[in-house]
Amino acid sequence: MSSPTGADPRPEIHRTADGDWVVAGRRCRACAEPVAYAWPRCPACGAEVEVAHFGPRGTVWSSTVVRIAVPGHTPPYALAYVDLDDGPRVLAHVAGDEPAPIGGAAWLIGASDDGDLQVEVAR
Amino acid sequence: MTVAVAGVGTSHFGRQPDRDLVGLAWDAVSEAFADAGVDAVDAVWVGTVFAPAGVAQRVLRAMGITGIPVLTVENACASGTTAFVEAHEAVRTGRYGRVLALGLEQMSTAFAGAITPETTDPEGRAGLAMPAMYAMSAARYLHTGAATPEQLAAVSVKNHAHAVHNPRAQYSGRYTVDEVLASRMIADPLTLLQCCPTSDGAAAAVLTAADGAAGEVVVRGAALRSGAPWNHRSPHVWGHDIVADTTRDALADAGLDAVTDVDVVEVHDAFTIGEIVTTEALGLVPPGDGGKAAAGGVTALGGAHPVNPSGGLLSRGHPLGATGLAQLAEITWQLRGQCGARQVEGARLGLVETMGGGVSVLDGNACVVTVLEAR
């Protein structure tokens, strides 16, 4: 219920020289856990982490369409949890007002004007 | 030392924006004190999520409870049961003789609609309201064939029907599966009647050392955990593993071999999918059978494993901090045989599960599982 001020908690994304969008996150040096965020330690085991890039491709784990008013967002909007290849599970917005096909391919296409991670999905 | 639930009480649950937390808390505490036959306690644990700082002392001073240790705890939807297990531990270890656990929340003045996780978390910032978080699990269940839309709806039908016999419930009714599915879509595939309402309320319990009286309700076991990371490696939907792990701890603490030994259960059904996942995670039904159990009457009153005879969060309402103590009140009344038309006949062992979440990447902020027994 806090208002969106202060540091942006969403994953930081970069565009590579090849033009691909990737999440700039961390990977655990001990257990290889991928994390979409610049956290100081691995959330799974507490070991040290190093910078790692994930994406752009992944698979839709699940998806829904939010059809109620949520502060700062205009319904309806589609969301998907995407498991980036060899990477973390990230929450992303999907264009349109239909859920993304679960199990289907997804790829990062950048951030929305509001700073939300966006994916395109195979339909 | 064995700890008894000496008294329980709740306020009315519902949208009550014109009432204040002082009044709601008084309704719960005065009923619990009268039920326990006491007029004072040695310490208080208060569970709440969104109440303003100082709320515990603010409501307690209005009922003359001052000058004693008062602690406020927050564990999302498990805040009330967290207060309970901490109060229980304080009595069990002899730290205090008689302790009040109080849960309270006024949602109607804090939220216009659904709860959204903190915008300091990526999920909250990206607009994943709580119904959408559970909708992700529901959509996954439908995709893998672990449940059907009709089975999801059956949970709502069952719990609203149970609530017909609970005068304290915010909503009740005899709906059909079709009516539940035809209600307004909130977050696909969850419709309005599959989501808990916005509620204000308070609930309380008084804990003391057990005195061995016949029929006394005692705490047989309890456990609390916070969630491990939930990620692409997790074999289950969000919130399953923390419930399964905490249940294992609680059953071991209670000295029970199987959760199916329990006669009656109150679980955290903030959304229909939540009850399906939880009945599987508890081990009450085999993996993947939660939906079938709800649709087939297994988890209904009169079934083999009655779940949420009160109507659950879906019907009784869900004032976050109050919910866990309202669940414990229901199980206490069930074990005393005081539940009238919603009574589970001969119930001797009861279980309460509450799971709260919202912190990104974690499989829930906290889960509390408690086993109560009538002696």
Is B115 within a domain? no
ipTM attached to this prediction:
0.95
Contact present, B201 and B322 (Cβ < 8 Å) = yes
For the sheet containing B264-266, what is the strand order?
Answer: B70-73, B43-47, B98-106, B200-209, B3-10, B217-225, B366-374, B349-356, B264-266
CA of B311 to nearest chain A CA: how many angstroms apart? 25
In degrees rounded to 5, what are phi and psi of residue B298?
A: -60, -40
- Contact B122/A83, CB-based, under 8 Å? no
From the list B121, B187, B237, the residue facing A67 with the nearest CB is: B187
Single out the catalytic residue among B88, B160, B305, B318: B318
Q: What is the CATH number of the domain that holds B180?
A: 3.40.47.10
Cβ neighbours of B129 in A, within 8 Å: 66, 68, 70
Of B61, B7, B8, B27, the residue nearest B200 (C-alpha): B27
CA of B184 to nearest chain A CA: how many angstroms apart? 9
Instruction: Report the C-alpha gap between B87 and A35 in whole angstroms.
Output: 37
CB count within 10 Å of CB B196 equals 30
On the 0-12 / 13-18 / 19+ scale of CB atoms within 10 A, B71 is middle
CA of B244 to nearest chain A CA: how many angstroms apart? 18
Q: Which domain holds residue B162?
A: 122-196+219-374
Single out the catalytic residue among B77, B195, B339, B367: B77
What is chain B's Cα-based Rg?
19
Touching check for A19 and chain B: CB below 8 Å? no
Contact present, B301 and B88 (Cβ < 8 Å) = no
Is residue B196 among the annotated active site residues? no
Is B212 within a domain? yes
Tokens of B187: 């977050």
- Asked if B206 and B129 sit in the same domain, the reply is no
Amino acid at B43: A
From the list B112, B113, B125, the residue facing A10 with the nearest CB is: B125
In degrees rounded to 5, what are phi and psi of residue B113?
A: -150, -130
Is A4 within a domain? no
pLDDT score of B335 more than 50 = yes
Instruction: Report the C-alpha gap between B365 and B74 in whole angstroms.
Output: 10
Confidence of residue A4 (pLDDT cuts 50, 70, 90): low
Cβ neighbours of A71 in B, within 8 Å: 116
pLDDT in tens, B315-334: 999 999 999 999 999 999 99
Of B153, B353, B350, B189, the residue nearest B161 (C-alpha): B153
CA of A93 to nearest chain B CA: how many angstroms apart? 8
From the list A1, A44, A72, the residue facing B110 with the nearest CB is: A1
Touching check for B70 and chain A: CB below 8 Å? no
Instruction: Report the C-alpha gap between A75 and B274 in whole angstroms.
Output: 24
Is B147 within a domain? yes
Provide mean pLDDT across the span B265-285: 98
Confidence of residue A2 (pLDDT cuts 50, 70, 90): very low
Contact present, B259 and B345 (Cβ < 8 Å) = no
Instruction: Report the C-alpha gap between B143 and A1 in whole angstroms.
Output: 31
- Asked if B353 and B243 sit in the same domain, the reply is yes
Is A29 within a domain? yes
Contact present, B154 and B295 (Cβ < 8 Å) = yes
Is residue B195 among the annotated active site residues? no
CA of A51 to nearest chain B CA: how many angstroms apart? 18
Is A3 within a domain? no
Best of A23, A60, A66, A94 to substitute, by most chain B Cβ atoms within 10 angstroms, is A66
Tokens of A47: 């070991």
pLDDT in tens, A24-69: 999 999 999 999 999 999 999 999 999 999 999 999 999 999 999 9
- Asked if B208 and B171 sit in the same domain, the reply is no
Which three-class secondary structure string do you get for B189-257?
CEEHHHECCCCEEEEEEEEEECCCCCCCEEEEEEEEECCCECCCCCCCCCCHHHHHHHHHHHHHHHCCC
Cβ neighbours of A64 in B, within 8 Å: 132, 135-136, 139, 187-189
- Asked if B49 and B169 sit in the same domain, the reply is no
Of B293, B270, B323, B294, the residue nearest B82 (C-alpha): B323
Cβ neighbours of A10 in B, within 8 Å: 122, 125-126
Strands (E), A29-116: 34-35, 49-54, 57-66, 77-84, 89-94, 105-111
Is B318 within a domain? yes
State the pLDDT at residue B111. 84
- Contact B118/A64, CB-based, under 8 Å? no
What are the CA-CA distances from residue B57 to residues B52, B68, B87 (Å)? 11, 10, 17
From the list A91, A93, A103, the residue facing B143 with the nearest CB is: A103
Q: What is the CATH number of the domain that holds A18?
A: 2.40.50
Instruction: Report the C-alpha gap between B56 and B58 in whole angstroms.
Output: 5
- Contact A1/B126, CB-based, under 8 Å? no
| Overall domain count for chain A | 1
pLDDT in tens, B122-173: 999 999 999 999 999 999 999 999 999 999 999 999 999 999 999 999 999 9
Contact present, B309 and B334 (Cβ < 8 Å) = yes
Is B116 within a domain? no
Q: Which domain holds residue A72?
A: 13-121
Touching check for A113 and chain B: CB below 8 Å? no
Average confidence score pLDDT of chain A: 94
Provide mean pLDDT across the span B321-349: 98
Provide mean pLDDT across the span A78-96: 97
State the pLDDT at residue A3. 52
- Contact B231/A65, CB-based, under 8 Å? no
